[in-house]
Amino acid sequence: MDFGKVITAVVTPFDDELKVDYDSFQKLTDYLIANGSDSIVVTGTTGESPTLTDEEKLNLYKAALEASNKRAKIIAGTGSNNTAKSIELSVKAQEIGVDGLLLVAPYYNKPTQEGLYRHFKMIAESVNIPCMLYNVPGRTSVNIEPETIARLSKVKNIVALKDAGGNLDKTSLTKKLAPEIDVYSGDDSLTLPMLSLGAKGVVSVASHVAGKEIKEMIESFEKGDVKRALEIHLRLFDLFKTLFITTNPIPVKEALNQMGLKVGGLRPPLVDADEKTKKAISDCLKALGILG
């Protein structure tokens, strides 16, 4: 399975009553595909997965598949800190027809490396579609070590890693120990350096705003035009950082709303951007020429 170079972790639009706005979600999906996204992660962290019901998640997968109409791969974020529940949702997502799964490291219960291995193995072996591991210790308080990723790379269906560990030495070791696994940057600002370590692309938040440029950056690097790739990276660097000045997805939802792509607010316990954050986002978008 080739998930491509630019994978967008899509936000979940809500209406004024904070109900899922499926119409806006499909319009956003279409917009993302038209602007460089090869795959879309639905109900990941950026999609506010902790506050979505299973029914809402399954309906979002159906809506994404309908909107994409096979123009992009649809990856369902079905991972959780409950192995049995993750298996149940993964099987249902596969039945709906998603192209792959994103499996986050179990959060809060802090499993051992052996526990992580068994958790991911059990989920991957319950389905017949490709699985991407998601290492994000800043949110989960547990790190999937390179040695564990190497073990998991031998498991049927585990084909990729979203690496948001922020440790390039561990990325290097992962590529050395598990050369067959496709590594994707989980941090927009680290995409360019991670490409030099063999990463295939990025699971991006900033691609909501600058998808075509992010794709050009990756393709420029692949063609050997590192100078052009660096120019794009530096042009977008403030955007990469501004979209994380407070908890994701607060800034990217504000950015999309300012751009006229209405995605609504956020479900508690997340809250809308404050005035200082709104101004920082507005200034950033104006500097990039996205807002007048």
Known catalytic residues are 134, 162
Contacts of 91 (CB under 8 A, 6+ apart): 126, 127
Q: CA-to-CA distance for 131 and 145, rounded, in angstroms?
A: 17
Q: How many CB atoms lie within 10 A of CB 94?
A: 19
- What does the buried/exposed string (b/e) look like for 245-254 if buried means 16 or more CB atoms within 10 Å of the residue's CB? ebebbbbbbb
**Whole-angstrom Cα distance, residue 158 to residue 8?**
20
Helix (H) / strand (E) element for 8: namely strand 6-9
Q: How far is CA 219 from the centre of its chain?
A: 19
Separation in Å, CA 242 to CA 21, 130, 141, 237: 26, 32, 24, 9
110 in the Ramachandran plot: left (φ > 0), alpha (ψ -120 to 50) or beta? Answer: left
Three-state secondary structure call for residue 239:
helix
**Structure tokens belonging to residue 35:** 């602007």
